[in-house]
Amino acid sequence: MAIVIITLVGLALIIRNANNNYLDGSYPLKYEKEVNAASAKYGVDKALIYGIIKTESNFDPEAESNAGALGLMQLMPSSFEWLQTFYKEENDYEFEDLKDPALNIDYGVELLAILSDMYEVEDTMICAYNGGLGNVDEWLRNPEYSDDGKHLKAVPFPETDNYRKLVAQNKSIYKKLYFS
């Protein structure tokens, strides 16, 4: 009987370690220096940054979407150009430069900080990151999608609705694994 109990305990430890190794491998802390710097610079939660990178590109700095978004945080050309207007110093960045992880994370987190200032609710901000500010502003004014102009009770774009759920899930996993 004691051998069976010891064997079961050992098996449970092996399974738990395998599960932890799987989670650590599936949810890595890649680009930690860049994420920490951008998080501190813009005041954005590291777990959220990692949740967005995981969702957007799965840590592939060369990722390019069918819509033309580029890099780890999948920035669109129009967002990149708009964000450049916030930089006081001169820069000669081209859109292709967003394949550089440090630049992509800095611009992506800056966009998150701006959206966070615009929208009080993180879920709404995440929808704006994916679906665009104009769309989210329209949804917030529509009683079919928002009761209070801040929270979205429904998201009419299935891609954006799925995106916000996946980011929230990935953020939660990162928070539990590394930031709790």
Domain ranges of the chain: 1-28, 31-178
Contacts 24+ apart (CB under 8 A), 35-42: 35/105, 35/109, 37/102, 37/106, 38/105, 38/106, 38/108, 38/109, 38/110, 39/109, 41/106, 41/109, 42/109, 42/110, 42/112, 42/113
Fold classified for 31-178:
Lysozyme (1.10.530)
What mean pLDDT do residues 96-100 have? Answer: 95
pTM, rounded to two decimals: 0.86
Residue 24's pLDDT is 57
Residue 17's pLDDT is 47
Residue 70's pLDDT is 97
Q: Residue 152, Cβ neighbours under 10 Å: how many?
A: 25
Residue 25's pLDDT is 74
Q: Could you read off the pLDDT of 112-171 as tens digits, one per residue?
A: 999 999 999 999 999 999 999 999 999 999 999 999 999 999 999 999 999 999 999 999
Cα(98)–Cα(100) distance, integer angstroms: 5
Nearest to 175, CA basis, from 42, 23, 21: 23
Q: What percent of the chain has pLDDT over 90?
A: 78
Q: Which of 9-13, 66-70, 132-136 has the lowest mean pLDDT?
A: 9-13
Q: Which residue numbers are catalytic?
A: 56
Backbone angles phi, psi at 115, to 5 degrees: -65, -35
Cα(27)–Cα(177) distance, integer angstroms: 8
Q: How confident is the model at residue 16 (pLDDT cuts 50, 70, 90)?
A: very low
Report yes or no: 169 and 16 within 8 Å, Cβ to Cβ: no
Q: How confident is the model at residue 85 (pLDDT cuts 50, 70, 90)?
A: confident
Name the average pLDDT for the chain: 90
